[in-house]
């Protein structure tokens, strides 16, 4: 082959110099971890004697490390310190993050980097799209909220802090910490039992959820440490295709309303290999959720893993195909809970709880269709229909202050097709409580349950058999 002309080489060299002279420090801090094979358990099919069509398996987005190794696209890193972020734990660095986001959003595989060894304070911000695919928000240092209500800008929303909106193929990751500075929010006198002499005072009590993903698709959240949120740590609303793995979420046991991960109106979700300890539900699943797989999660102290609450203010709630497996729940007020309000409509169906280890848990297995936060809730004829719920290999110890199994179903619309298999729950301390509670609950013990749950009724009540289609979503 003949050598290239010198003029051609010269102009290529000049072009490279121009590209390298941009004002962005494009250091490659993006973590390219070794490939992990993410488990993708199939969504549970309804528990029924009759064959049922299984829904299509959910599509989970891949982690960045699982992208095609043959691609030539390299990440372009937008370091917030190059945009003027001080990272001293006191200066407001919001403007720098917004500017870095704006530039990263416009390129493929852009990375907004909050580097290690810095502490960044930012105020309530919406990071919106649409953006080019492959966008990464990477926190290797500390990212924190303003320090309590008094430091919160008056013009900012008090209901949310970081919001990611209208995004596709985005990853939120890093080796750093997201700090919520929640203590002063938890101590507000309007919080439960925080007022004088243990009272709860009336008045506005808005507190910000820490991280919210809204109307977005194909999301990956991985590796982060998230702690001390003023309210919910992480929320997903109106999303589809969510992969969450290897998170550490923590806040004190008595911190009010600090759910770890909350999802609603969200489909095709995988939550894997994470540790969550907080003052409310470890994971909560709201209305409009389907095809959710939770595997390898450790909860506690917490209020356990909850489906609901559902049907508030006579609303319709539809939840289907939820699988919880290989979980540990310890030192918690609840274990596996389904909670609905009186007066709602819709259904909860196709729920599987498999291979769960309990340790000192109160209300290990509970369906509560009389959920209410005050004393003036009245009984109503309408209810969310709970059906096709299977509990298999649920073992461990319970707090004897409450029976370990409690099925309180609607007076008019029974819970149906509850299946119990290999359930063995023993007291953490004290004597065995051998009287599980059932009200209008129908199902079977496939194996002997400890304690025995002979209160389950056989078959399906006539009104549900005849009008079950009315409760479907």
Indicate which residues carry an active-site annotation: 303
Q: How many CB atoms are closer than 10 A to CB 201?
A: 12
Helix or strand holding residue 218 (H, E): strand 217-222
Q: Which residues, including other chains, have CB under 8 Å from residue 38's CB and lie 6 or more apart?
A: 60, 62, 63, 66, 243, 245, 270, 272
CA atoms within 13 A on the CB side of 282: 29
**Coil, strand or helix at 331:** coil
What is d(CA 122, CA 161) in angstroms, rounded to the nearest whole number? Answer: 9
Q: How many CB atoms are closer than 10 A to CB 237?
A: 18
CB 442 within 8 A of CB 450: no
Cis preceding linkage at 309, omega within 30: yes
Cis preceding linkage at 63, omega within 30: no
What is d(CA 17, CA 152) in angstroms, rounded to the nearest whole number? Answer: 45
What is d(CA 423, CA 19) in angstroms, rounded to the nearest whole number? Answer: 64
CA angle 254–409–366, rounded 5-degree value: 35
Residue whose C-alpha is closest to residue 386's, from 336, 350, 438, 343: 350
CB 156 within 8 A of CB 193: no
Strand partners, 328: 298, 357
Task: Pinpoint the alpha helices (H) of 88-212.
Answer: 94-105, 183-186
Cis preceding linkage at 279, omega within 30: no
The phi and psi torsions of 88 (rounded to 5 degrees) equal -100, 5
């Amino acid at each position: 082959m003949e050598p290239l002309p010198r003029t051609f080489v010269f102009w290529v060299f000049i072009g490279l110099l121009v590209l390298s002279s941009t004002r962005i420090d494009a250091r490659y801090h993006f973590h390219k971890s070794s490939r992990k094979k993410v488990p993708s358990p199939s969504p549970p099919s309804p528990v029924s004697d009759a064959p049922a069509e299984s829904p299509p398996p959910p599509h989970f987005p891949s982690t960045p490390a699982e992208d095609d190794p043959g691609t030539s696209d390299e990440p372009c890193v937008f370091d917030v310190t190059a945009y003027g972020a001080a990272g001293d734990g006191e200066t407001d660095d919001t403007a720098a993050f917004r500017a870095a986001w704006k530039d990263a959003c416009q390129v493929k595989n852009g990375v907004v980097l909050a580097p290690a060894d810095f502490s960044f304070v930012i105020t309530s911000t919406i990071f919106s799209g649409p953006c080019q695919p492959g966008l990464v928000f990477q926190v290797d240092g500390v990212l924190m909220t303003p320090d309590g209500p008094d430091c919160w800008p008056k013009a900012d929303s008090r209901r949310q802090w970081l919001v990611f909106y209208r995004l596709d193929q985005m990853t939120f990751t890093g080796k750093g910490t997201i700090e919520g500075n929640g203590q002063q929010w938890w101590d507000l006198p309007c919080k439960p039992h925080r007022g004088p002499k243990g009272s709860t005072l009336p008045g506005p009590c808005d507190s910000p959820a820490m991280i919210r993903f809204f109307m977005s698709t194909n999301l990956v959240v991985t590796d982060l440490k998230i702690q001390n949120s003023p309210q919910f740590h992480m929320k997903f609303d109106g999303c589809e295709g969510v992969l969450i793995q290897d998170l550490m979420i923590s806040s004190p046991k008595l911190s009010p309303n600090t759910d770890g991960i909350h999802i609603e109106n969200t489909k095709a979700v995988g939550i894997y290999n994470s540790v969550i300890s907080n003052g409310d539900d470890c994971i909560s699943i709201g209305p409009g959720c389907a095809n959710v797989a939770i595997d390898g999660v450790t909860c506690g102290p917490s209020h356990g893993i909850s489906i609901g609450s559902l049907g508030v203010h006579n609303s319709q709630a539809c939840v289907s195909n939820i699988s919880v497996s290989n979980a540990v729940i310890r030192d918690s007020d609840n274990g596996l809970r389904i909670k609905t309000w009186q007066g709602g409509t819709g259904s909860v169906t196709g729920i599987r709880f498999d291979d769960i280890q309990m340790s000192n848990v109160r209300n290990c297995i509970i369906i509560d269709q009389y959920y209410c936060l005050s004393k003036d809730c009245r009984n109503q004829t309408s209810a969310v229909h709970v059906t096709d719920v299977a509990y298999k290999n649920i073992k461990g110890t319970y707090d004897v202050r409450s029976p370990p199994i409690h099925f309180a179903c609607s007076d008019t619309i029974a819970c149906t097709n509850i299946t119990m298999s290999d359930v063995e729950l023993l007291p953490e301390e004290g004597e065995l409580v051998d009287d599980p509670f059932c009200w209008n609950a129908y199902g079977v013990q496939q194996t002997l349950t400890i304690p025995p749950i002979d209160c389950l009724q056989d078959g399906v009540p006539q009104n549900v058999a005849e009008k079950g289609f009315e409760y479907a979503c």
